[in-house]
Amino acid sequence: MSVPLEMKGITRTHGHGVGEVHALRGIDLTVREGELVAVMGPSGSGKSSLLNIAGGLDSPTSGSVRVAGRDVARLGARDRAAVRRRDVGFVFQDLNLVPALTAVENVALPLELDGVRPGAARADAEAALADVGLPEVADRFPEDLSGGQQQCVAIARALVGRRRLVLADEPTGALDSVTGESVIRLLRARVDAGAAGLLVTHDARYAAWADRTVHLRDGLVAGTDGGLGTDLDELQGVDA
């Protein structure tokens, strides 16, 4: 089976000439199934750039990004959008859900956009909500959910249907510490069940839930450390 995310030699440069900014300067990163990788680093170190490129929201200046085996950097806008719908799910700090849709409709949305019939999409969405332990909120609107529940619904949407790769950008940033931890526990559980996760966070105590943490500095990998159950000697997939 193909690797959910494989990035090689990624660079990203903004602007030209004197105003040129090198957001990423040669990053290799692989996330396998059942693996949660955390990305840490100071503001401006390239964390969000990396995540946006991993998910096809932005294109690298050079390098290759393979999502489920397909090189998204070489795809046109239309095909890249299809990869985003089918293979990748995003969870942001907040405002993840469409306010006018119920929880189950939010989760079913990427499937319906991809042409899945409404009945089948709803069944998959209900299954995804059950996987995150929230089957009872299916018909509630986002404004009737707590911040933590909204993030869990966003994780359900990120992993609905055949999607296996969840890209989370500070998913706990707007939550209190108890709720934040429950969201990280859920993310960890979904990854343990076979998904792949890339988690950008400022909090070392959340990064400690990952299998390894990649430390970015000035667009480069400054170091990598092992996490839960990972021996430093066994680290693979990231080369500084």
Partner 1 sequence: MSIRQGFLALLSEQPMHGYQLRQEFERRTGSAWPLNIGQAYTTLARLQRDGLVEPVDGAEDSPEQFRLTGAGIAQAKVWWSTAVGRERPGRDELAIKLALAVTVPGVDVAAVVRRQRDETLRALRALTKQKRDLDPATDLAHSLVLESQVFAAEAEVRWLDHVEASVAAYGSARTHTAGTADTETAGPARTAGGNNRPSTPTGAPTKEMTR
Query: Where do contacts with partner 1 occur on this chain (CB under 8 A)?
Result: 42, 185, 188, 203-205, 208-209, 213, 223, 225-229
CA distances from 91 to 53, 100, 196, 227 (A): 15, 18, 13, 22
Burial of 135 (0-12, 13-18, 19+ CB in 10 A): middle
Q: Which is nearer to partner 1, 115 or 229 (CB)?
A: 229
Query: What's the CA gap between 185 and 128, in Å, rounded?
Result: 16
Q: Cβ of residue 183: shortest distance to partner 1, in angstroms?
A: 14
Q: Which is nearer to partner 1, 2 or 146 (CB)?
A: 146
Q: Cβ of residue 218: shortest distance to partner 1, in angstroms?
A: 12
Q: Cβ of residue 46: shortest distance to partner 1, in angstroms?
A: 16
Q: Cβ of residue 124: shortest distance to partner 1, in angstroms?
A: 29
Q: Which is nearer to partner 1, 105 or 170 (CB)?
A: 170
User: For 15, left (φ over 0), alpha (ψ -120 to 50), or beta?
Assistant: left
Q: Cβ of residue 219: shortest distance to partner 1, in angstroms?
A: 17
H or E segment to which residue 105 belongs: helix 103-113
Q: Cβ of residue 36: shortest distance to partner 1, in angstroms?
A: 12
Query: What's the CA gap between 75 and 80, in Å, rounded?
Result: 6
Q: Which is nearer to partner 1, 11 or 230 (CB)?
A: 230
Query: What's the CA gap between 47 and 224, in Å, rounded?
Result: 14
Strands 5-14 and 62-67: antiparallel
Q: Which is nearer to partner 1, 160 or 184 (CB)?
A: 184
Q: Which is nearer to partner 1, 86 or 188 (CB)?
A: 188
Q: What tokens were used for 70?
A: 């397909």
DSSP 77: H
Q: Which is nearer to partner 1, 84 or 188 (CB)?
A: 188
Q: Cβ of residue 204: shortest distance to partner 1, in angstroms?
A: 5
- 7 bridge partner residues: 29, 65
Query: What's the CA gap between 124 and 178, in Å, rounded?
Result: 29
